Structures are given as structure tokens and as C-alpha cells.
Amino acid sequence: MNGQEEHIDSAKQDVLREIANIGSGHAATALAALLNRPIIQTIPDVALVPLADVPECLGGPEKTVVAGLIELTGDVSAFFLIVLELQQADRIIDMMLGDIGRDKTGEVWQLSELEESVVAETANILGGSYLTAICEMTGLCIQQSTPYLSVDMVGAVMSVVLAEAGKTGDIAIIFKSELYNDDERIMGDIILLPDEASCGKILKSLGFEA
Amino acid sequence: MSENSIPVNIAMMRVARPPVTLHSLGLGSCIGVAIYDPVEKIGGLLHALLPKIGEFTGEAHNRAKFADSGIQDLVELLEAHGARRSRMKAKMAGGAAMFALRPGSSVGDIGKRNVESAVSTLRRLGIPLVAQDTGGNKGRTIIFDVDTGQMTIKMIDRAVKVI
């Protein structure tokens, strides 16, 4: 993606990939049960990206997405941002609601209350899966909030997180979840955004000097 | 966006003369402050992330990251390019609350605080805020036309607004 990534040594990359692997495995199991269909997991990709470059990695600042924000507290202070493309959200809602399906009649892409809770629950599962993986690997004790949803431009949803991280941290960890149903990638990206102290704490708990 | 438009990303400010326009994509809780001198026909846009530089100590900060220091610097930069403070006007947009975060969250009211900081800084510098479109819970893309002093605001699923 850019020069910043070159500074991350491969050992760190391996550990992050292992977190992604475990997290994505948990998520696949949970989603398969929830959606009642096979979910196939391929090797997830993971990247450390400077905060300012995150919108570009997600398709540009003006792209409309469904975003779930989960606040992490406890041993670390961080956010999970779960980003779904509109079609991915459509697909998940269709699968979860079955016959009721997604109401696509409106001109404007919006979510009914029921659909919103479907998306929130999916974000919750994905966040919880990755959080469990992080806690297992680091031994840190972290709690997660319920997800807050927003359907808006990538740049706009990122700004809240940037404001928090703008105080200290400068790096985001992007897990590209690779969960498929019938060759269709159904899950979006999950981004871990720790503040600077928390980033150090996570890396230290994994056995690296921050 | 046309070729004659300069992007102003987070923690940046840019000054331009007609026919160039300035734009910021996907403002959420950030604030876009445009200041211009309609006589000298010069204007600038600031894209600030946080309210006040004074809340942060320690290492050197990018002053354009903050509404207060950013506005101060933008005014001085415009003056250096021939604008007069007495003629300057300001317009701004942004400062939304993108997520309904729990009360007490450190970032829950960041948009509102950005707006407040910008308003008080402009007042302190004696620059009239002639129009604004702030708050709410939707992201905005803004385009500032230095020639006309018009700020065009685009939101998803909403009609384009000009202030």
C-alpha cells in the first residue's frame, strides 16, 4: 500500500496475521450458525496503515458504506470500525431474514429498524470474534460496547475515530476478513484503531518491544 | 471534482484565487472553514480535526489539525497574500455527530466542540461568520468557490445545498 508498511517487520506481521486467522475463524463459525449456511474462510490479509490513508484503503473518502463502531475499553482504549459495502449488507440481511428479505424498493439506501439490528448483530459478532482472538493472544482484558451504526461516506465515519486517534496514535490495523458464501465475499473489513498507549500495550503483550 | 479544484485533506489548509476552487471530501465531525476576501478575490479552506491546540502539549503538532490554531494561521496566510482582515468573511460546514455514542464518550461531542472552537476563534479575530451548515449526523463534502464565496455542500441522499 505504501512505504509505512515496509517498516513492519515480518514477525509482527505474522502475529497480526495469526490474530486475523483466529478472529476470522471464530467469525466464520458464528456466522455459519447465525445465517444457517456454510461460510468458507480463506487466509485473511492484515495491514498496518497510517490513519490518514485509511479512507483510501476503503474505497475513497466519498464512498458510501455501512459502518459499525465498537468502543473497546479495559486494558486498552481503542475502536473497532467494521465496514460493509452496501451490497454486502444487503446480502447479509437477505440471508438472515430469509423470506422477508431486504426491502430494496426505496430510492434511497436505508435500513429499517429490523435490518439495522441485523447489521448491528453481524458487526457485534465480527467484533467479538476478533476481540476474543486478541484477548487470547495478548492476555489483555478488554470489553466491547454494542455497535453504533452509521450509513455514510467513509471519510465522515472515519473522522470520529481519527479525532480520537489524532490525539496520540497514528496507525490503524486493517483486517481484511475473507469470509465467503457461494464464492461471494460476504463480510467487509474490520479495522482496529488503538490509541498510542494501547497500540504499544498490545504489541508488548504479544512479545514485541513497542 | 474538476481539475481546477484543490483537495484539502484532514489537517490541511490551502489558499487559492479564482478560477480555482477548494474542496474537502467526506467531512464528518471535522470542520471545514472557508475564509475569503471578496475584494482581493482570494480565499482559503481549512480542514480541522480537533477543536483546540491548547488541549495538547508535548511534541510539535500540525497546527492545521486544530480549529483554533488553523483559523489563526489561515487568516495570517491570507494576509500574507494580500487579503485584508477587515474585509474577510467566513463560512463553515461539518461538525456532525456520526455515531450516537454513549454519553461521556471522549469523542461523542467532538463535532460540536469543533464548531464551538471555530465560532469563538472567528469572533476573537473579528471575522464575521456569514453562513454555516453544521451539526446533524450526516457527512458532508464541501466545495468552496473563491470567486463567488459560495460553499456547496453535498450529503448522501440529500439535495445539494449552497450557502
- Tell me the pLDDT of chain A averaged across its residues: 79
Do A179 and A47 form a contact (C-beta atoms < 8 A)?
Answer: no
Tell me whether residues A159 and B138 touch, CB distance under 8 A: no
DSSP-derived secondary structure for B108-123? TTHHHHHHHHHHHHHH
CA dist B72 and B117 (Å) reads 12
pLDDT tens column, B4-59 = 899 998 889 999 999 999 999 999 999 999 999 999 999 999 999 889 887 776 56
CA dist A184 and A180 (Å) reads 5
CA B134 to chain centre: 11
What percent of chain A clears pLDDT 70, i.e. is strictly above it?
85
CA dist B40 and B89 (Å) reads 12
pLDDT at A1 over 60: no
- For residue A180, give the amino acid letter: Y
C-alpha cell at B155: 450529503
* Helices B67-80/B110-125 angle, 10° precision: 40
Residue B15: name the closest of B99, B115, B88 by CA. B88
pLDDT tens column, A47-89 = 877 777 788 888 888 899 999 999 888 888 888 888 888 888 8
CA dist A34 and B125 (Å) reads 57
pLDDT at B156 over 60: yes
Please indicate whether residue A170 or residue A146 has the higher confidence score (pLDDT): A146
The strand ranges marked E within B42-149 are 42-48, 89-94, 129-134, 140-145
Q: What is the CATH number of the domain that holds B106?
A: 3.30.1330.200
Interface test with chain A among B29, B114, B141, by most A beta carbons within 10 Å: B29
Contact A162/B at CB under 8 A: yes
Q: Which residues contact A89 (CB under 8 A, 6 or more apart)?
A: A66, A111, A119
Tell me whether residues A152 and B9 touch, CB distance under 8 A: no
Domain hosting B104: range is 5-162
Tell me whether residues A148 and B140 touch, CB distance under 8 A: no
Task: Render the burial of B134-147: b for 16+ CB within 10 Å, e for the rest.
Answer: beeebbbbbbbbbe
- CB-nearest to B25 from A145, A155, A161 is A155
**Global ipTM:** 0.82
Q: In chain B, whose CA is at the least distance from the CA of A108? A: B157
pLDDT at B106 over 90: no
Interface test with chain A among B8, B9, B25, B140, by most A beta carbons within 10 Å: B25
- Tell me the pLDDT of chain B averaged across its residues: 90
Please indicate whether residue A92 or residue B83 has the higher confidence score (pLDDT): B83
Tell me whether residues A155 and B106 touch, CB distance under 8 A: no
**Min CA distance, B49 vs chain A (Å)?**
6
CA dist B20 and A12 (Å) reads 45
Where in chain A are the domains? 3-205
Which range of A7-16, A179-188, B61-70, B142-151 scores highest in mean pLDDT? It is B142-151
Question: Would you state the CATH architecture of domain A3-205?
Answer: 3-Layer(aba) Sandwich (3.40)
Q: How large is the average pLDDT for residues B56-72?
A: 82
Residues of B in contact with A148 (CB under 8 A): 99-101
pLDDT at B140 over 80: yes
Phi, psi of B82 (to 5 degrees): 105, 0
Residues of B in contact with A109 (CB under 8 A): 157
Tell me whether residues B25 and A71 touch, CB distance under 8 A: no
Tell me whether residues A55 and B26 touch, CB distance under 8 A: yes
The predicted pLDDT at position A169 comes to 56
Residue A79: name the closest of A209, A186, A206, A194 by CA. A194
Please indicate whether residue A29 or residue A172 has the higher confidence score (pLDDT): A29
Tell me whether residues A148 and B30 touch, CB distance under 8 A: no
Please indicate whether residue B123 or residue A21 has the higher confidence score (pLDDT): B123
Domain count, chain B: 1
pLDDT at B92 over 90: yes
B52 flagged as catalytic:
no
The predicted pLDDT at position B142 comes to 96
pLDDT at A8 over 60: no
Q: Which of B13, B15, B30, B34 is catalytic?
A: B30
Residues of B in contact with A150 (CB under 8 A): 98-99, 137
* Helices A86-97/A113-138 angle, 10° precision: 100
The predicted pLDDT at position B85 comes to 95
The predicted pLDDT at position B87 comes to 95
The predicted pLDDT at position B76 comes to 96
* Helices A113-138/A10-35 angle, 10° precision: 140
Q: Any idea of the CA torsion for A21, A84, A162, A63, to the nearest 10 degrees? A: 140
Residues of B in contact with A62 (CB under 8 A): 25-26, 141
pLDDT tens column, A164-210 = 766 555 677 788 777 777 767 777 788 887 777 777 787 788 776 65
